[in-house]
Amino acid sequence: MKPTSFPPLKNDQFLRAARGLPVQRVPIWLMRQAGRYLPEFRRLRQAYDFFTVCRTPELAAEVTLQPLERFDLDAAIIFSDILVVPQALGMEVQMRKGHGPHFPDPLRSPEDVARLKAGDVHEELSYVYEALTLTRHRLQGKVPLIGFSGAPWTLMVYMVEGGPSKTYARPRAWLYSHPEASHKLLNRLTEVIIPYLKRQIQAGAQALQLFDSWAGLLGPEAFQTFAWPYLQRIAREIKRDYPEVPLILFARGAHHALPLYRTSDYDVIGLDWTMDPRQSRQAIGPHKSLQGNLDPAVLYASPARIREEVQRMLEAFGPHRYIANLGHGMYPDHDPEHVRVLVDTMHQASETLLQTSSTTASS
C-alpha cells in the first residue's frame, strides 16, 4: 500500500495523552460513538443493512463523521465491526435486529477450522482500508482517526458459539477439550489481525484499539494461556514496525490481568466500568495511560447527575495519562444531548483542574 499524504492534525490531545505527554484538557471519545443512538444513523440504516454500511467506504466515512459533527470529541473511530475478520476468512455473519451477530454455520468441531480461507485475506478487507483513507481526508486534520480489530479470543468466541449465549460454553469448552485446535484457530486469527492492523495504519489510522470484549469469560490461567500470548504478539509485531502509533487494549472484565499490562507494548489500557481507576493505576503502574470508564447507564441520568459522575471519574483517574471514555459502548436508546453533557463537562472540568495544577506548581 502506497503512503498517502494527509492534512496536518489540528487537535492532538488524544495522541498526546496516549503517549503520556502534557495536555490542555483530558481528551474524550466514546466506544460506539457512531451508531444507533444517533437519529441520522438510524435514518441511514433504513436504506442500508449493517454490513452494507461497513463495506461501502462512502457510507462508513459518513457514519464515522456523524458524531464529530454533533460533539466536541477528540478522536474519531472508523465505523466497522470486529466480525469483518471472520467474514474475510469465509464465514457468513448476519446482524439480526434485536439479537446481534449470528453465524449460520459456526465452527462446531476442530475439523471445521480447516474450512477457513487460507492465505492472504486482505483483498477482502480492502473496503476497511479505503474507508480509513477517505475518512482521514474528510476529517481535514480535525482529530485523530482510530482503527481497530477484535482480539483473537473474542473472535473465536463468536466463531465457535455462533450467536448470543448466557454461558458461551462452547468456546470455553474448546479450550479444555480441544486445546491444540484452539491454539491453531487463535494463531490463524493472530496472523490475520497483525497485517490487518498494519494496513489500517498505512491507510490512515493514527492509533489502534484491540477489543477483547469477552476476556472476562476466562479465568487467570486460561487468559494467560489462550489470550495473553496472542495479545502480546500482536502488540510486539505492530510496535516493531510502527513504534510511534499508540496501541490501546480493552480487555473487558479481565481484572486479574491488570499487572500483566505493566510491561506490555500497549500504550493505553482501557478499563470497563467495574474496574476501580485508582486500584488499576496501582496495578498497571505509572508508565501506561488509562482509558475509561464511565458506566454507560450514567447517560440515562439527569444532566446534573452526569456532571457529578464525570467529576468523580476525573478525580479518580486524574488529568494526566488519561483518556476519558465509557466503560463499554453506547446504547441504542441513549439521548444524544446527554452525550453532549458528558463531553463538555469532561473538557471544562479537566481544563479547570489542569489550570489550577499549573498555577499551584508555578506559585
> pLDDT tens digits, residue range 170-206?
999 999 999 999 999 999 999 999 999 999 999 999 9
Residues paired with 148 in a beta bridge: 209
Indicate the DSSP class of residue 28: B
pTM for this one?
Answer: 0.96
Q: Name the active-site residue from 19, 45, 188, 233.
A: 45
Q: Name the active-site residue from 25, 37, 55, 81.
A: 81
Assess whether 241 carries a catalytic annotation: no
Name the grid cell of 285.
503502574
Quote the mean pLDDT of the chain: 96
Nearest to 5 by CA among 203, 199, 198, 195: 203
**pLDDT for position 122:** 87
Mean of pLDDT values over 31-48: 96
Could you tell me if residue 326 is left (phi over 0), alpha (psi between -120 and 50 degrees) or otherwise beta? beta
Q: Name the active-site residue from 37, 129, 158, 230.
A: 158
Rounded (10°) angle between helices 169-177 and 179-203:
120
Give the CA distances from residue 349 to residues 23, 177, 312, 313, 357, in Å, rounded to whole numbers and listed in that order. Answer: 13, 51, 10, 11, 12
Q: Name the active-site residue from 32, 252, 281, 321.
A: 32
Residue 121 banded pLDDT, cuts 50, 70, 90: confident
Q: How far apart (Å, rounded) are the C-alpha atoms in residues 186 and 63?
A: 31
Assess whether 96 carries a catalytic annotation: no
Read off the pLDDT of residues 242-281 as tens digits, 9 standing for 90 and up: 999 999 999 999 999 999 999 999 999 999 999 999 999 9
**pLDDT for position 357:** 77
Assess whether 36 carries a catalytic annotation: yes
Assess whether 138 carries a catalytic annotation: no
Q: How far apart (Å, rounded) are the C-alpha atoms in residues 67 and 282?
A: 34
Residue 120 banded pLDDT, cuts 50, 70, 90: confident
Question: In the chain, what is the straight-line distance between the N-terminal and C-terminal CA atoms, in Å?
Answer: 52
Residue 3 banded pLDDT, cuts 50, 70, 90: low
Give me the residue label for grid cell 464511565. 294
Residue 83: pLDDT over 80? yes
Assess whether 158 carries a catalytic annotation: yes
Residue 359: pLDDT over 80? no
Rg (CA), the chain: 20
Whether 210 and 186 have beta carbons less than 8 Å apart is answered as no
Report all structural domains of the chain as residue ranges with CATH numbers, in order of start. Answer: 13-362 (3.20.20.210)
Nearest to 132 by CA among 149, 145, 141: 145
The C-alpha torsion from 74 through 54 and 80 to 217, rounded to 10°, is 150
Whether 218 and 260 have beta carbons less than 8 Å apart is answered as no
Q: Name the active-site residue from 19, 36, 70, 233.
A: 36
**pLDDT for position 100:** 87
Q: How far apart (Å, rounded) are the C-alpha atoms in residues 290 and 298?
A: 20
Read off the pLDDT of residues 205-230 as tens digits, 9 standing for 90 and up: 999 999 999 999 999 999 999 999 99
